[in-house]
Amino acid sequence: MTLAVNQTQAHPVDDEPVAAPFQAVRRRLGHWLRVDAARLLWPSRCLACEAPGLEGLDLCAGCAAALPWNRCACAVCALPLPQPGTCGDCLRREAALARRRRVPALTAVHAVFVYAAPLDHLLPRFKFHRDLAAGALLSQLMAEAVASLPRPDAVIPVPLHRARLRRRGYDQALELARPLARSLALPLRDDLLRRVRRTAPQSELSALARRRNLKDAFAVKPGIRLPAHVVLVDDVMTTGATLHAAAEALKRAGVQHIDAWVCARVP
C-alpha cells in the first residue's frame, strides 16, 4: 500500500484500511510522551534513603547495589546457604514424608532476597504502613528475578482473613502479585484460595505454634476449575508455615504442582 504525502491527514491511495495502524502508533507515542513527562515532573527518588533514583527504578545506585539477593539458597525452602544444595531441615522432612509414602504439597520456594537491609526497612513500611510505592518497587524487582523460572498456569496471592483485611485496608500479597502477574503476562487467580479461619499473628509464635496456628486456615472455593501448576506469592517467609498450609489446601483440592515466590526469606 502507498500513501499520499504532504497531507494534513494520511489517505490511502488504494482500498486498504490504515486507521488501525495509525491508531496503534498514536497510542504508543502518547504513552511515551506521558512517561517522559512524568519523569521530568516527578523524577525518581530512592524509597530507601530518598537520594535521586536510577532511571526506571525507585532506588539510588548505592541502595540498589546493596540489595541482598538470595542467590545461594536451599533448592526447596530458599533458606540462604553457604553453597547450593538442600538444607538439613528439608532433607529430614523429605525423608519423613517418604516413610509415609507422601509427597510435599509445596514443591519449591524461590525467595528473591534475604531479609536484610534495605529490605528490612522497605517491607515493614509496605506491609504495615500502607507504603504501596514500596510494594510496587518490590514487585518490580521480584518480576525481574523470577522471569526465567518455569511459568505456572496461575499466580495466587496468599490471602488475608477478611477481618485483618478490613483492619489493614489492603492485602500486601495481592499488591505484590497483581503487578507481578501483569509484568509476566500470567493469570492472577485471587478467587481460588480463601483464609477461612482467623489466626493469631505468626510473628508472635514459635515454629511449632505457627504450624498449629495455620491448621485448616485455608480452603479452596468449591466448584472452580483449578489450574494444574500454580505459584503462591507472599511477602516474607520465616518458617514457611503459612505457605505450607496454603499449599496443602490447594493440593487437597486437586492442584498438581505448587511453587512459591516470596520477596524475602528470613535467614
Say whether pLDDT at 32 is over 60.
no
Asked whether residue 26 falls in the same domain as residue 111, the answer is: no
Instruction: Evaluate whether residue 57 is within a structural domain.
Output: no
Q: What is the pLDDT of residues 134-148, one digit of tens each?
A: 999 999 999 999 999
Asked whether residue 161 falls in the same domain as residue 205, the answer is: yes
How many domains are there within the chain? 2
Q: What is the pLDDT of residues 85-141, one digit of tens each?
A: 999 999 999 999 999 999 899 999 999 999 999 999 999 999 999 999 999 999 999
Buried residues in 36-67 as b, exposed as e (16+ CB within 10 A) = eeeeeeeebebbbeeeebeeebbbbeebbeeb
> Which grid coordinates are listed for 186?
500470567
CB 48 within 8 A of CB 121: yes
Angle between helices 119-128 and 132-146 (to 10 degrees): 120
Q: What is the pLDDT of residues 175-200, one digit of tens each?
A: 999 999 999 999 999 999 999 877 66
CB 213 within 8 A of CB 173: no
Asked whether residue 116 falls in the same domain as residue 247, the answer is: yes
Please tell me the predicted confidence (pLDDT) of residue 8. 38
Say whether pLDDT at 37 is over 60.
no
Please tell me the predicted confidence (pLDDT) of residue 210. 65
Asked whether residue 132 falls in the same domain as residue 240, the answer is: yes
Task: Supply the mean pLDDT for the chain.
Answer: 84
Q: What is the CATH number of the domain that holds 96?
A: 3.40.50
Please tell me the predicted confidence (pLDDT) of residue 193. 96
Q: Which domain holds residue 13?
A: 1-42
Asked whether residue 30 falls in the same domain as residue 137, the answer is: no
Instruction: Evaluate whether residue 59 is within a structural domain.
Output: no
Asked whether residue 108 falls in the same domain as residue 12, the answer is: no
Asked whether residue 253 falls in the same domain as residue 144, the answer is: yes
The residue assigned the cell 535467614 is 267
CB 74 within 8 A of CB 237: no
If one counts every other C-beta atom within 10 angstroms of the C-beta of residue 102, the result is 9
Instruction: Evaluate whether residue 50 is within a structural domain.
Output: no
pLDDT band at 234 (very low <50, low <70, confident <90, very high): very high
If one counts every other C-beta atom within 10 angstroms of the C-beta of residue 97, the result is 13
CB 218 within 8 A of CB 195: yes
- Between CA 174 and CA 179 the distance in angstroms is 9
The residue assigned the cell 485471587 is 190
- pTM metric for this prediction: 0.80
Asked whether residue 106 falls in the same domain as residue 219, the answer is: yes
Average pLDDT over residues 245-257: 95
Encode 98-114 in three state secondary structure.
HHCCCCCCCCEEEEEEE
